Chains A and B, each alone.
Chain A
Amino acid sequence: MSAWPGLAVHSLWNRRGTAALTVFAIAVSVALLLGVQKLRTAAKESFATTISGTDLIVGARSGPINLLLYSVFRIGDPTANVTWETYGRVAQHRDVAWTIPLSLGDSHRGFRVVGTNGDYFAHYRYAQRRALRFEHGRPFVASHQAVLGHAVARELQYSLGETIVLSHGVGAGSFVQHERHPFRVVGILAPTGTPVDRAIHVDLESIDAIHGDSADTRGGEPSGITAFLVGMKSRDTVLLMQRALNEYRGEPLQAVIPGVALAQLWSIVGIADRALLIVAACVALAGLLGMLAAILTSLNERRREMAILRSVGAHPRHVFGLLVLEAGVLALAGAACGTALAYAAMWLAQPWFSTRYGIHLVTRGLTATDGLILAAVVAAALLLSALPAWRAYRNSLTDGMTVRL
């Protein structure tokens, strides 16, 4: 013999059409909320790990965010260059493990060209210290060879052996073409989900060559670079080196710690992402308000039912409890279906996200944040249900066992 709480399930089953709709509405909003939260976490993580393993980013003095934007995100333009001499001095410093020179300023059909050297493929790290991987080909070993980021090859449908011509400047409609200096594609990188995917990497010396008068200035030293990345032998020396570079007398330099600059940048970019979360939370609230409306509407047609329950010994608090329970069952079912929906959608979208953005969405089991969101939805449902429950409680006190319809 079941106890009174079982009646809530019976009653819901009796109205399973509307109940299913309510569960569906809650499920969709919960799925949206979970999905947005997952996407936020993944995006933030991916953003925060756009560059990893690098201890310092060094460029001409402008501002940390500006430096980060043009050196890592390839957005905007550098204000000034760093001389090759200064770069050489830092690269040879005894505490420095490695450096990666970056020379920006050219483009190919809207994609930025990065002049660098072989150290880029050896030392550049992203995400959790993941190294760059080649999908096809190999790093450039000679002048006028290019390595494409994954998105460049995909969008322009380039394959190995393709010959490309760079343009001066970064606009898609650059008119100055370096036609005398065609580059051959020798490598295509695997997707990283970072701006590396949208870059064309060439030898630093070729960059200098195509800007020089003749095509054969090979072997000469570049006059300057845009910025460079530094890896220190020991973490302990990072702050010392940063200070030394910022106070460097030879030319105005600026060294930033990537993590710090990324956090600063995120505090600006993150507003949009919080807005997204608020919208998703509002959708969840709308789903719950739908449930509230459905329960409130059902109250009048169920006064008789409540009066019968009263006559067989139900307390008004049983009536209250039944309605809260009903909301709880609806919210739990909605949360469960919503979770299944969200995870199914993420599982389906995973390959796409991973090749396109290098974002990993699906987690093994529910995360603590998922649990928190689901608990919040169910708690909000229970809280909202107090309203119809209280009304039913009042009704059943005044109606007693007899209700005139």
Chain B
Amino acid sequence: MTHPAIELRDMSFGWQPGAPVLAIPEFVVERGERVFLHGPSGSGKSTLLGLVGGVVEPGSGAVRLLGQDLAALSRSGRDGFRAEHLGFIFQLFNLVPYLSVLENVLLPLRFSRKRRARLADPRAEALRLLAALGLEGGELLDRKVTALSVGQQQRVAAARALLGRTEILVADEPTSSLDSDARDSFLRLLMRECAAAGTSVLFVSHDHALGSWFDRSIALHEINHAHVTEGRS
């Protein structure tokens, strides 16, 4: 049997004790499943991603990724796990300004030997991913990342997140800064690449309209039983 990609069980989290922001009895993303999670700003979406990323620790309950209970890992163990299995895309400023496009894509390999070991030729794979996401041409690769458009930056970030066949892609409002054309083409290419690689996707946004791109669409308040009073996104 294979474990689900993401599994939350009786998990609760609050910045202050006694005031949980998140209380999730059950939330599961299966292997290869692409899930869209929507909710208004301040509903705790980003906190949930922090929990999945292992940067924030739950107050109680379990967060399991690929069958691994994050609580059973040390802090640096979680960092290593994240480096090996997860890819992230944020809304803005995903790239390290002093690295080239290619260096940005290859960045995770500097921190994860295991992810590096999965690739025979990292450079070729990075170029393949960039091309699959619509970024081609040597001229572009040498350009400073700060000179790229936001849409191009997001594609570079996506290529980085997927490099080395990460099992889980976590995206936090990656299309909010894009216009609708750029957004649609970005999502189309991203979904195609994830489907091809069998990557599980947890995609978070406040924009309901994006739900049609995914296998499953779910509102945060449907799984979250805590009464959110405080704005902390």
Chain A residues close to B by CB (< 8 Å): 1-4, 6-7, 10-11, 13-14, 304-305, 308-318, 400-402
In the complex, what distance in Å separates the CA atom of A308 from the CA atom of B92? 11
In the complex, what distance in Å separates the CA atom of A314 from the CA atom of B79? 7
CB-contacts of B72-101 with A (<8 A): 75-76, 79-80, 82-84, 88, 90, 93-99
Q: How far is the CB of B97 from chain A (nearest CB, A)?
A: 7
Which of B28-36, B108-116, B174-182, B195-203 has 4 or more CB atoms under 8 Å from chain A? B108-116
Besides the contacts A1-B122, A401-B88, what 7 more A-B pairs have beta carbons closer than 8 Å?
A: A3-B110, A10-B98, A11-B98, A308-B94, A313-B79, A313-B84, A313-B111
Contact A310 B160 (CB under 8 A): no
Q: How far is the CB of B14 from chain A (nearest CB, A)?
A: 16
Contact B90 A311 (CB under 8 A): yes
Q: Would you call B44 an interface residue if the criterion is a C-beta within 8 Å of the partner chain's C-beta atoms?
A: no
In the complex, what distance in Å separates the CA atom of A7 from the CA atom of B97? 11
In the complex, what distance in Å separates the CA atom of A14 from the CA atom of B50? 29
Among A2, A4, A311, which residue has the most Cβ atoms of chain B within 10 A?
A311
Q: Would you call B55 an interface residue if the criterion is a C-beta within 8 Å of the partner chain's C-beta atoms?
A: yes
Contact A402 B110 (CB under 8 A): no
Among B83, B96, B107, B115, which residue has the most Cβ atoms of chain A within 10 A?
B96
In the complex, what distance in Å separates the CA atom of A304 from the CA atom of B97? 10
Which DSSP category, helix, strand, loop or mixed, fits chain B's interface?
A: helix
Return chain A residues, CB-CB under 8 Å to B122: 1
Give 28 pairs: A residue, B residue, CB < 8 Å, sorted on A.
Answer: A1-B106, A4-B111, A7-B99, A14-B97, A305-B96, A305-B97, A308-B94, A308-B95, A308-B107, A309-B107, A311-B88, A311-B90, A312-B83, A312-B88, A313-B80, A314-B83, A315-B76, A315-B80, A316-B75, A400-B53, A400-B55, A400-B56, A401-B53, A401-B55, A401-B88, A401-B90, A402-B50, A402-B90
Contact B56 A304 (CB under 8 A): no
Return chain A residues, CB-CB under 8 Å to B116: 1
The answer to whether A313 and B93 touch (CB under 8 A), given A401-B50, A401-B88, A402-B50, is: no
In the complex, what distance in Å separates the CA atom of A314 from the CA atom of B111? 6
Return chain A residues, CB-CB under 8 Å to B93: 304, 308
Q: How far is the CB of A300 from chain B (nearest CB, A)?
A: 14
What is the chain B residue whose CB lies nearest that of A6? B110
What is the chain B residue whose CB lies nearest that of A312? B108
Q: Would you call B7 an interface residue if the criterion is a C-beta within 8 Å of the partner chain's C-beta atoms?
A: no
Return chain B residues, CB-CB under 8 Å to A7: 96, 99, 110
In the complex, what distance in Å separates the CA atom of A324 from the CA atom of B84? 25
In the complex, what distance in Å separates the CA atom of A132 from the CA atom of B109? 70
Return chain B residues, CB-CB under 8 Å to A400: 50, 53, 55-56
In the complex, what distance in Å separates the CA atom of A402 from the CA atom of B90? 8
Return chain B residues, CB-CB under 8 Å to A309: 96, 107, 111
Q: Would you call B46 an interface residue if the criterion is a C-beta within 8 Å of the partner chain's C-beta atoms?
A: yes
Contact A311 B53 (CB under 8 A): yes
Return chain A residues, CB-CB under 8 Å to B80: 313, 315
Return chain A residues, CB-CB under 8 Å to B82: 311, 313
Contact A402 B96 (CB under 8 A): no
Select which of A6, A13, A317 is within 8 A of B76 by beta carbon. A317
Return chain A residues, CB-CB under 8 Å to B112: 313
What is the chain A residue whose CB lies nearest that of B172? A402
In the complex, what distance in Å separates the CA atom of A7 from the CA atom of B55? 22
In the complex, what distance in Å separates the CA atom of A7 from the CA atom of B103? 10
Please provide the 6 A-B residue pairs with the shortest distance between their CB atoms, ordered closest to farther: A313-B83, A14-B98, A400-B55, A313-B111, A312-B108, A4-B110
**Chain B 124-164 per-residue mask, 1 if CB under 8 angstroms from chain A, else 0:** 00000000000000000000000000000000000010000
Return chain B residues, CB-CB under 8 Å to A2: 110
In the complex, what distance in Å separates the CA atom of A314 from the CA atom of B76? 9
In the complex, what distance in Å separates the CA atom of A31 from the CA atom of B212? 67
In the complex, what distance in Å separates the CA atom of A79 from the CA atom of B109? 83
In the complex, what distance in Å separates the CA atom of A135 from the CA atom of B206? 93
Contact A1 B111 (CB under 8 A): no
Return chain A residues, CB-CB under 8 Å to B115: 313
Return chain A residues, CB-CB under 8 Å to B99: 7, 10
Contact A308 B110 (CB under 8 A): no
In the complex, what distance in Å separates the CA atom of A236 from the CA atom of B218? 102
Return chain B residues, CB-CB under 8 Å to A4: 110-111
Return chain A residues, CB-CB under 8 Å to B56: 400
Select which of B83, B96, B103, B109 is within 8 A of A308 by beta carbon. B96
In the complex, what distance in Å separates the CA atom of A304 from the CA atom of B98? 12
Return chain B residues, CB-CB under 8 Å to A3: 110
Q: How far is the CB of B80 from chain A (nearest CB, A)?
A: 7
Q: How far is the CB of B82 from chain A (nearest CB, A)?
A: 6
What is the chain A residue whose CB lies nearest that of B160? A312
Q: How far is the CB of A20 from chain B (nearest CB, A)?
A: 15
In the complex, what distance in Å separates the CA atom of A401 from the CA atom of B109? 17
Select which of B53, B75, B90, B98 is within 8 A of A13 by beta carbon. B98
In the complex, what distance in Å separates the CA atom of A305 from the CA atom of B96? 6
